[in-house]
Structure 1
Amino acid sequence: MGFIWMIIVGLVAGLLARAIKPGSDPMGWIMTIILGIVGALIGGFVASAVGINANGGFTGLIFSVIGAIILLFLYEFIMSKRHV
């Protein structure tokens, strides 16, 4: 059940990050889930660096979305440099 929960939270975090961050992010459902899961890893790192326990719950979701937004900005930055 843990793997399914991870996919669901990844999807929610990815969708929220794509809704909050301005601009066009053309990606499908699978990439949105991956965005949310990797965003959760980045968000967990940020939370631990600040000294906040973000293991699950609402705080974990917030930091997952923050991590996914950071990842979206990095992706956009890398892709803009590639097309120049």
Structure 2
Amino acid sequence: CRTGHAFIGEYYAKFVPSESKECPCGHPHQTRAHILQDCPRHDEHRRTLTDFDPEISITRLLNEEKGMAALAEFIRLTGAYTKTGELAEP
């Protein structure tokens, strides 16, 4: 997420142009901000982030210890940023 390397449309637009840039929710641009702040696929678990920072600042999430913990939990709960965008099998 910090380096910009992730299985999301924002990355594919630069490095794998044959892949879709669209979010599975239908939004035309799947960006880090969209996934964290707006994507309806992750509404159920967004409170993990808003409890840390109501504005869901990517800078704060990536630069503060509690922010990184909140982001890690969000990713664990949602499967965001994975190749399939789904939770891993236990």
> Could you say which structure has the higher helix fraction?
1
Query: Does the TM-score normalized on the shorter chain lie above 0.5?
Result: no
Normalising by structure 2, we get a TM-score of 0.31
Normalising by structure 1, we get a TM-score of 0.32
